[in-house]
Amino acid sequence: MYALPDQAAIDALFNGSHADPFSILGLHEHDGSLWLHALLPDAGEVSVIDAKNERTLATLDRVDARGFFSGKIPRRKNAFPYRLSVRWGDGTFDIEDPYRFGEVLGDVDAWLLAEGTHQRPFQRLGAHPAVMEGVAGVAFAVWAPNARRVSIVGDFNLWDGRRYPMRLRRECGVWEIFLPGVQQGALYKYEIFTAEGHIELKADPYGFSAELRPGTASKVAALPEVVPASDARRTANAFNAPVSIYEVHLGSWRRIPEQGNRWLSYRELADTLIPYVKDLGFTHLELLPVNEHPFDGSWGYQPLGMYAPTSRFGTPADFRYFIETAHANGIGVLLDWVPGHFPTDSHGLARFDGTHLFEHADPREGFHQDWSTLIYNYGRNEVRNYLTGNALYWIERYGIDGLRVDAVASMLYRDYSRKEGEWIPNQFGGRENLEAIQFLRSMNETVGTARPEAITLAEESTAFPAVSRPPAMGGLGFHYKWNMGWMHDTLEYMQQDPVHRKYHHHKMTFGMVYAFNENFVLPLSHDEVVHGKGSLLARMPGDAWQQFANLRAYYAFMWAHPGKKLLFMGGEFAQGREWNHEDSLDWHLLDPAVGGGWHGGVQMLVRDLNAVYKAQPALHQIDFDPSGFQWIAHDDAENSVFSFIRKGEQPSCEVIVIANFTPVPRHAYTVGVPLAGRWREILNTDAACYGGGNAGNDTLETQPHGSHGFAQSLTLAVPPLATIYLQRVAE
C-alpha cells in the first residue's frame, strides 16, 4: 500500500497553491517504511540512486500523469543521500532533489530576522552559493510572510513555478530552499502566490546582482568578501580633515560617441575618472546612486535593487575594483543612498507578497506625491532591518567610505509636501515621523559601531535640530549635514547684478549665524544644474568675463568658508549648459581654442583651491567650532566686500580671506589683521592663469594702525570680482 498524499494535495502542488511542499516531497517515513515523493512535471520515468554507491534503489511510480512520482525505498528506514535519474523525452538526466536537504536558516538567524535585529540580514536572505551535504548549489531565502506559496523560478527550471516551491519558516515569515546545481550568474525571481490567488513575479530584495534593464531578474552572485577597516580612511573622513567632494553621475561623466554614445564601464571609469579626480585634488568621490534601478532618467534615485550595483557599468566585481582603485589613489568614495522611498514597478517591493509588506497601506502614509513612489514602513521590524543591513552592506562589503542619505526631510515629517487632510499625525498628534526618526538613529548607531571609520551625511533641507549630533544627545547621529540654506542664500546673492548686491549683503553672511549648529558640508550639487536652473556659470550675471570672474570668486569664497566642500561634475571647468544625464560633459570646452581658455582657467583654479585647502590647516581643521572663524568685516555692504580669518589648531597659521563681489577694483583697501609682519597672497582668483586681469599684491607689510578691532592693519588692492587668500610670512 502506497503512503500517498491525497489527490487534493497533489493538485495543489501542480496548481502552485500548496503552502508546505516539504511536508510531501522528498523522503518520508510511514509505518516503519521510507517513501519518496517527487514532483517532476512532464517527466516520463524516475529512478532513485544511492549517492554513496551509485546503486539504483527503486523506480518510482508515476501516480499522476502530470508528473507526480512516488515509491517505497526497499530495505531503508532512515533518510540517506540520493539522486534522481529522470527521463524527459528522449534524454535521461541525473539530478539532485532539493527536497532531500534540510533547513537553510539556523534557529538563531530565524529568531533575529523575526525580531528585526539581525545586524547582517544579507548573510542569510537572498541567494547564496553554498554547499550542503557535500553538494554545491544555491541557498535561497526571502521574506514573504503573507504569501500562500513561494517558488524559485529561473533560467534553470524553465521559469516554472511548479518545480521548486519553497519551505515556509513560520517563526519568521521567510521562505527558503537549497537548489543543487544552480550556479553563479543564473537568472531568477520569486514566483509568489498571494492570499488573493494572484501570481506575482518578484526580483530578490536581497539580490546581489541584477539583469541589465529592460530585464528585471536577479542574478545569482556570491556575497562580496568583507573589506577590512582602514585607519587611513577613518583619518580622511575626520571632522578636522580636508574633505573636498567631487559628485559624479557615472553614466554621463564621459561617454564614447564613436561607439553609440555608450557609457564607460566601472573598470574604464577606474582608469580615467580616478586619475582625473586625483589630479584635481579632490579627497572624495560621491556617486549618484549605483543601486540597481529600472529607469535611467531617475539617476538612481528610485532604486529597486538596493543590494546590487547597477549592471549598466559592469559586474559587482567590477564595481569593487573601482572602489579599490579609488582607495589605492587616496580617494574616498561616498554613495548616495535612498532609504526614503522606492518605485512602484511590479517586479519590485510594492505589494511584495500580495500585501503592503514594505510600504504603508494607507497612501496618506505610504505614497510620495512628489515622486509617485512608495514610502517604507519604518514601524515594521523587518523593513528597518532590511535598510539598516543595506547601509552596513555597502560599507562592509564594498569598502564604501560613507553614505549620503537622500531626502531626509521627506522621511522626518509626515506632512512633507502634503496639504491639510492628506497626512496622518503621529500617535501624539504631531507631524514628525517618529518611526523614521528612530530608524535613522538606529541605522547611524549600527554603522558607527560596526564600522567607525565610515561616515553618514544627511541631505536635510529643514531646520530639524541636531541632525549631526549623537542620538545620546537627542540627535539623529549623522556625521555631516548638507548646508542647503547656505547654498540657496549664496547662489541667490551671486545671481544678483553686482550693482544690487549691497542690498542682499546678508545672504552671504547669514550662514555664519548657524554655521556651528551642525557639522556642515557646503554643496553645489547636481540639483543646482538641472530642471531649468541652468549651469552655475549661466547663473552668474554680466558678460562672459564677469560670469567667469564671478564664478571664480564664489568658488574661492566657498572653499574658505567653514564646512566641507562638494562640487558636482562639470562645475570644475564651468560647463556652460545645464547637465543632461543622456550626454557626456562638454569636455571640448577645455580646448584652449574654445572660449578663450576661460574654462581651463576655472579648472586650474579648482585644482589650486583643493591644493591650498589641503595644505592650509586653517582652512579645514576647525570647521565646526567658532574658534576656527573670525570676521574682519561682515558689514561692508556698500563695497560688497567680505573679509574674515580662518584659524587652525596651532596659533599663527591664520589665513585671511577677502572677497570683492563687484567689478570695481578696491585700491588701498584696509583690513585689520591679528599679527604684525609680512603677509603674502597664496591665492588670487584674478590671476592671469585663471583667466583674470592679474591685479593683486606683492608681499604686504602691516602698519601699526588699528582697524576692525585689531592693532595692526594691511592696506592692499582687492581685484574686481575676485577673492584673495593671505598668509603671514614666517620670520
pLDDT digits (tens, 9 = 90+) for 597-616: 999 999 999 999 999 999 99
> Which of 335, 236, 332, 336 shows the shortest CA–CA distance to 284?
332
Residue written as grid cell 583690513: 671
Structure confidence at residue 3 (pLDDT): 61
Other beta carbons within 10 angstroms of residue 516's beta carbon come to 18
Q: Is the peptide bond before 214 cis (omega within 30 degrees of 0)?
A: yes
Q: What is the mean pLDDT of residues 372-392?
A: 97
Contact 219, 187 (CB under 8 A): yes
> Which one-letter DSSP state was computed for residue 707?
B
- Could you give the residue numbers annotated as active site? 406, 459
**CA–CA separation, 271 vs 288, rounded Å?**
19
**Residues above pLDDT 70, as percent of the chain:** 100
Instruction: With a cut of 80, say whether residue 142 has pLDDT above it.
Output: yes
Which DSSP letter does residue 479 get?
Answer: S
Fold of 7-97: Immunoglobulin-like (2.60.40)
* Displacement of CA 313 from its chain's centroid (Å): 16
Rounded CA-CA distance 188/87 in Å is: 25
pLDDT, average across residues 715-724: 97
Three-state DSSP class for 208?
Answer: coil
Residues 222 and 208 sit within 8 Å (Cβ to Cβ): yes
Instruction: State the helix-helix crossing angle for 434-450 and 381-398, rounded to 10 degrees.
Output: 30
* Mean pLDDT for all residues in the chain: 95
Task: Give the number of other Cβ atoms within 10 Å of residue 345's Cβ.
Answer: 15
- Point out which residues pair with 711 in neighbouring strands: none
Q: What is the per-residue DSSP string for 54-99?
A: --EEEE-EEEETTTEEEEEETT--S---EEEEEEETTEEEEE--GG
- Provide the grid cell at 360: 504603508
The tally of CA atoms less than 13 A away on the side-chain side of residue 176 is 20
Superfamily of domain 107-219: Immunoglobulins (2.60.40.10)
- Is the pTM value of this prediction over 0.85? yes
Is residue 724 exposed (0-12), middle (13-18) or buried (19+ Cβ within 10 Å)? buried
**What are the phi and psi torsion angles at 597 (to 5°)?**
80, 5
Residues of the chain with CATH 2.60.40.10: 7-97, 107-219
- Grid cell 591685479 is found at 695
The pLDDT tens digits of the residues spanning 394-440 come to: 999 999 999 999 999 999 999 999 999 999 999 999 999 999 999 99
Amino acid at the residue 366: G
Long-range contacts of 503-510 (CB under 8 A, 24+ apart): 503/637, 505/635, 505/637, 505/640, 508/557, 508/642, 508/661, 509/634, 509/642, 510/485
SS3 417: coil
Range(s) within the chain of domains with CATH label 2.60.40.1180:
483-521+547-569+617-731
Backbone angles phi, psi at 259, to 5 degrees: -120, 50
What local confidence, expressed as pLDDT, does residue 62 receive? 95
294, 103, 117: which is closest to 203 by C-alpha? 294
pLDDT of residue 652: 80
674-685 average pLDDT score: 95
Q: What is the 3-state secondary structure (H, E, C) of 312-381?
A: HHCCHHHHHHHHHHHHHCCCEEEEEECCCCECCCCCCCCCCCCCCCCECCCHHHHEECCCCEECECCCCH
**Whether residue 29 has pLDDT greater than 60:** yes
Q: Are 21 and 165 in contact (CB under 8 A)?
A: yes
Burial 662-673 (b: 16+ CB within 10 A, else e): bbebbeebebbb
pLDDT score, position 1: 43
Mind listing the pLDDT tens digit for each residue in 612-668? 999 999 999 999 999 999 999 999 999 999 999 999 998 888 999 999 999 999 999
Beta strands 564-568 and 244-248: pairing type?
A: parallel
- The topology under which CATH files domain 483-521+547-569+617-731 is Immunoglobulin-like (2.60.40)
Express as a percent the part of the chain with pLDDT over 90.
Answer: 94
The torsion defined by the Cα of 305, 308, 310 and 313, in degrees rounded to 10, comes to -170
Closest CA to 127 of 194, 19, 203: 203
